[in-house]
Amino acid sequence: MKMKFAVIVLIVSCTLVAQDMKRNAAASLFSDFKANRLGDAITIYVMESSQASNQAETKSGRSSGINFGSSLEVGKTPIPNNSLALNSGNSFNGSGGTKSYGVVTTKISATIDSVLSNGNIRIRGSRKIVINGEEQIVHIKGVVRTTDISSENVVYSYNITEAEIIFEGQGMIDSAQKPGLVTKLFHWLF
């Protein structure tokens, strides 16, 4: 009788103190903490590469001609031959090509901005680096599935949906890459 009572008390207490696995997944005994709440920090490995190529070639041609000739003879005296010829021609050859290649690799931390209703998280982060007067700012934002976050709290940039990765720079190198005022004026005029 005491044994039955103990089993009933154990079953009732287990159901009263049941835990929600989604809520307690971050506090697991067997895994590390994974960012999944508002304000949690997450590390992003930005590894992006892009390559684009475009080739175009155009050829056209046109030719036309008009010829007129006459010969006249009065009696036995020939009048010199007259001849008229009009010719025109037009041809065009054009070709062009563009190639673009870019690689971006960096590591940046971001925080969880909001948690969506389906469990995905919206992240946002930025980093500013200044070396010898050269300023480089990296901004990142997007949506991440919590299953894409590794046990080290890292997500790769190619797993970010609606990703916006912006690199901005200011300094001597940035200024040297821009055209001068005279060049800008000539581009504006012509």
pLDDT tens, residue by residue, 31-78: 567 777 888 889 999 887 778 888 878 777 777 766 666 665 666 666
* Average pLDDT per 10 consecutive residues for the chain, totaling 190 residues: 74 63 56 76 86 80 68 63 67 76 84 91 91 86 91 90 87 64 71
Dihedral-angle region of residue 51 (phi above 0 means left; psi in -120 to 50 means alpha; beta otherwise): beta
Cα 176 from chain centroid?
25
Residue 16 is predicted with a pLDDT of 59
Would you kindly state where each structural domain of the chain is located, as residue ranges?
Answer: 56-96
pTM higher than the cut 0.85? no
Per-residue tokens: 172: 């001597």
